Chain A
Amino acid sequence: MSEHSPILLAALPELSVDAWIVITGAVTNVACALVGCFLVLRRMSLMGDAISHAVLPGLVVAFLFSGSLSIVPLFIGAAAVGLLTTFLTQSLHQYARVPGDASMGVVFTSMFALGVVLLKKYVSGVHFDVACVYEGALEYVPFAEPVFGLPRPLFTTLVVLLVNLVVLALLWKELKVSSFDESLASTMGFSATAMHYLLMTLVAVTAVASFEAVGSILVVAMLIVPAATAHLLCDRLGIMVILAAGVGVAAAILGYLAGYWFDTNYAGMMAVAVGCLYALAVLLSPRYGLVSTLVRNLRMSLKVLRDDLLSMLYRVEELSSEKPLSPAKALQAVGGGWLAQWGLAGLVRVGQVESRDDRLQLTDAGRNAARNLVRSHRLWETFLVEHLGMPLDHVHEPAHRVEHYIDEHLQKELQAEVDATAGDPHGREIPE
């Protein structure tokens, strides 16, 4: 790395080979993640896959015309083919009524086949390795010819990252609105179609810039997975973009470490790493994760079970029945199972229910809570009959479901609507 240009040489510390690899990976991942967010939101994730395959003939033609692998003609070729792919996919879908996914598949596979044939026919012998397009050559980045003191692949991806950042900053509102609501975009006076093509151009250029460094598979991964991961973690586009970029950087670092540890392909490891990050988000996302959903559902079921036990005991007391309600019977009545046992244990623990001589009994605290529930239940039943005219034998079930969610405020409102002194529609008293 002795050929650094003098100006930047002063600014940049001498970095190790490994640092260059991580930096290049991170820059590429962030560039892809930025545009990827919009792809995922527009449900066009696979457009990234399609474009990154379809650019092959564009690259070959650009190479044939310019006779070199220099970056400008390759970009022009890639952008042109990217737009063509988008346009053909769209037209096939719109005018020839081919289903959207099939039209994408038709276009990019045919383009790729064309690229393979062109490659074989005209470019054989030149360094244009298809396997390399897949796997990338992240390992060789530090040894690439330097441009302004940076390895060339890093320089190109850095430029593309800047372009993406600038476009996103300038057209943030337009991209956002057109991603969520195309018709609104049109009524606000800018073309959703133009935004669509702009985005596809960015995807194509980003993909081509990243190929040399990380290979097409990491491009596809980074266009989709960081954005999908961020989408699981938040509900705001601004945060999603930042998170996606963060996931991209994390994947670069983790992928590098794993690749170093197992001594294998870095780009492949980064793709695996980002896949694992996604899996983690699927499990652990605070809001949409499987674990938190499971916990939420469990707590809900537990609350419902406890409420049901309490109000059942209250009703038994109300009938002043002499027959004791044994724990086993009570559990059976609310559906049984370990969850019911757990719920009953909880009630006993907080001192709302006592279990004496195989007989369940409400404590004073329990009675108050139960009275409140039964009140909610009967108020709701009365309301359904008086105001919605529902038949008597249809109101218990909805009231049974809704009683857990009726708070004090709603109770007051219900009370104002119905005549509570007259008892519920079944003739039972509505407790105070």
Chain B
Amino acid sequence: MSGLSLSEKVMIGTSLLGGMSGVVGSFAVLRRRALVGDMLSHAALPGVCLAFLVLGNRDLLGLSLGALATGLLAIGAVTVIVRWTRTKEDAAIGIVLSTFFGAGIVLLSVIQKPGVGGNKAGLNFYLFGEPANMLTGDLYLLAVVSSVMLLIVALLYKEFQLVSFDADFAQSQGWPTLRLDLAMMAALAVVTIVGLPIVGVILMAAMIILPAATARFWTNRLPMMLLLAGAFGVAAGLIGTQLGRDLPAGATIVLTAAAMFVFSLLFAPQRGVVARVLAEWHLRQRISREHLLRALYELGETRLPQIAALPVEQLRAYRYWKPRSLERLLQWAVGEDMVKLGDVHVQLTPLGLRHAADLTKVHRLWEMYLMQHADIPADHVDRDADDTEHLLPEAVLVELEQQLADEGRLPRAIPEVPESPHELEASREP
């Protein structure tokens, strides 16, 4: 491995770090402990300084062990505070973070005094990160830590999954949730502390959160999320170091991850903003179309079975449509062959009548259900039904209709589907 150039080493190192923090960070994000990474990276500072004071050199392994010690101490402190005092978790994290970091700053200024020996030029890198300092040995350390982390995640996969999604259930099933939580946080601590000298305090917190939060947009399944978060982390490491040739690499790595986050935020299927806005727009369109058909049915209902030709103005006034939007709705209905549009009159086609009658039936079924079972007065149900009718699943409708029919309350005005003229095969029933 010594044949690698520095930039290759940096690339391998940052992508290892990215992948590892993506996987471990996924659990932290799901467990709502995203900011523990932030706390850990701050709490590492006093440990680093102490290790330096004790060892007198800046051997990465020694400093990391020091950092790990104070990191674990910080986790313990937060756990104690949350369990035993009325201070809430967010404040507990803040308290531990700032006190530990303050202690770190104090120790740092002790180290910087002229009397203290050792090569201290490199301690600041622990705060702000410097990938270019990476040595081949550091790369081995990263590789070992990543494999150990992956192994731990693989071994405790089921337990971590349970605790991340439903800690109360886990506890009620007899799992040691406190110990599992601590194990999860300890894994987070190890990853954070290995990454600190590479990307720095704040940006390490970002590496824990960003790939995981990005992956969450793309999937609802944990294994997929772990895979994606790892992949996003690796990609952020690779691309970020490429972009950051003359910029602080830690920052460019995080900005790359942030760019991936924003892209996913916008364009992920289902959970992405664009997809959700589109879905909402479609729903709104469907609702106004259904309202048009039902309005036409209700206005012409008295003259059934003849299909009445209604003045467009009367229709507009019925639901207070804006002329423009009514025009657009009618154009859609004409295109779908639901209505015939004259100069001043509009008339449902037989196809349109069928649809309109179905929609009205749904509306009235729901109204009746609300009156009967939710005790909502008759003059209040129209609005409620208006909101809900578009969302009722088929199964609910069938049940409602059956129930009301059993009670003899199904009004005649609701068109029934005629009986089948032939015998239905029983085998077709599901």
Contact = CB atoms under 8 A, between A and B. Distances in A.
A44 B90 contact: yes
A135 B86 CA distance: 30
Contacts of B366: none
Interface in A96-120: 96-106, 108-110, 112-114, 116-117, 120
B99 interface: yes
B102 A271 contact: yes
B202 A224 contact: no
B29 A45 contact: no
A262 B110 contact: yes
A23 to B, nearest CB: 20
B251 interface: yes
B122 to A, nearest CB: 14
Given A95-B273, A262-B110, A102 B102 contact: no
Interface in B55-102: 81, 84-88, 90-91, 93-95, 97-102
A268 B94 contact: no
Contacts of A117: 247-248, 251-252, 255
A323 B103 CA distance: 65
A428 interface: no
Contacts of A263: 113
A131 B127 contact: yes
B205 interface: yes
A349 B160 CA distance: 55
A288 B273 CA distance: 45
A103 B212 CA distance: 11
B35 A274 contact: no
B419 to A, nearest CB: 48
A109 B206 contact: yes
B129 to A, nearest CB: 10
Contacts of A130: 128
Question: Which secondary structure dominates where chain A touches chain B?
Answer: helix
Contacts of A270: 102
A265 interface: yes
A288 B85 CA distance: 7
A109 B201 CA distance: 10
Interface stretch (A46-54, A177-185, A351-359): A46-54
A13 B189 CA distance: 51
Given A121-B247, A232-B85, A49 B38 contact: yes
B109 interface: yes
B86 A267 contact: no
B88 A271 contact: no
B266 to A, nearest CB: 9
B85 A113 contact: no
B218 to A, nearest CB: 13
Given A95-B273, A105-B205, A109-B206, A268 B102 contact: yes
A46 B86 contact: no
Contacts of B108: 135, 265, 268
B210 interface: yes
Interface in B102-138: 102-110, 113, 124, 127-128
Nearest to A265: B109
Question: Which secondary structure dominates where chain B touches chain A?
Answer: helix
B261 interface: yes
B105 A220 contact: no
B276 to A, nearest CB: 8
B216 interface: yes
Nearest to A255: B102
Contacts, number: 204
A274 B201 CA distance: 22
Nearest to B262: A110
A399 interface: no
B279 to A, nearest CB: 13
Interface residues of A, number: 65
B252 A225 contact: no
Contact of B205 (A109, A215, A259, A282): A109
B102 A282 contact: no
Contacts of B34: 99, 101-102, 104-105
Contacts of A104: 34-35
Interface string B180-220: 00000000000000000000001101101110110011000
Contact of B104 (A97, A112, A121, A268): A268
B254 interface: yes
A274 B91 CA distance: 14
Contact of A267 (B84, B88, B102): B102
B364 interface: no
A316 B276 CA distance: 75
A219 B48 CA distance: 22
A102 B35 CA distance: 7
Given A98-B216, A217-B102, A274-B99, A53 B94 contact: no
A202 B84 CA distance: 31
Contact of B35 (A46, A92, A110, A223): A46
B99 A225 contact: yes
A220 B87 contact: no
Nearest to A131: B124
B213 A106 contact: yes
B390 interface: no
A276 B203 CA distance: 28
Given A97-B271, A106-B210, A271-B101, A113 B90 contact: no
B292 interface: no
Interface string A63-107: 000000000000000000000000000001001111111111110
Given A130-B128, A217-B98, A228 B91 contact: yes
Interface in A270-301: 270-272, 274-276, 278, 282, 288, 290
A414 B90 CA distance: 47
Nearest to A92: B265
Nearest to A98: B213
A134 interface: yes
Given A95-B273, A278-B95, A288 B105 contact: no
26 contacts: A40-B91, A45-B88, A49-B38, A98-B213, A99-B29, A108-B202, A109-B258, A112-B206, A113-B202, A120-B247, A130-B128, A131-B124, A218-B98, A221-B98, A224-B91, A224-B94, A225-B94, A262-B110, A267-B105, A268-B105, A271-B102, A272-B99, A275-B98, A275-B103, A282-B84, A282-B87
Interface of A: 40, 43-46, 48-49, 53, 92, 95-106, 108-110, 112-114, 116-117, 120-121, 130-131, 134-135, 215, 217-218, 220-221, 223-225, 227-228, 231-232, 259, 262-265, 267-272, 274-276, 278, 282, 288, 290
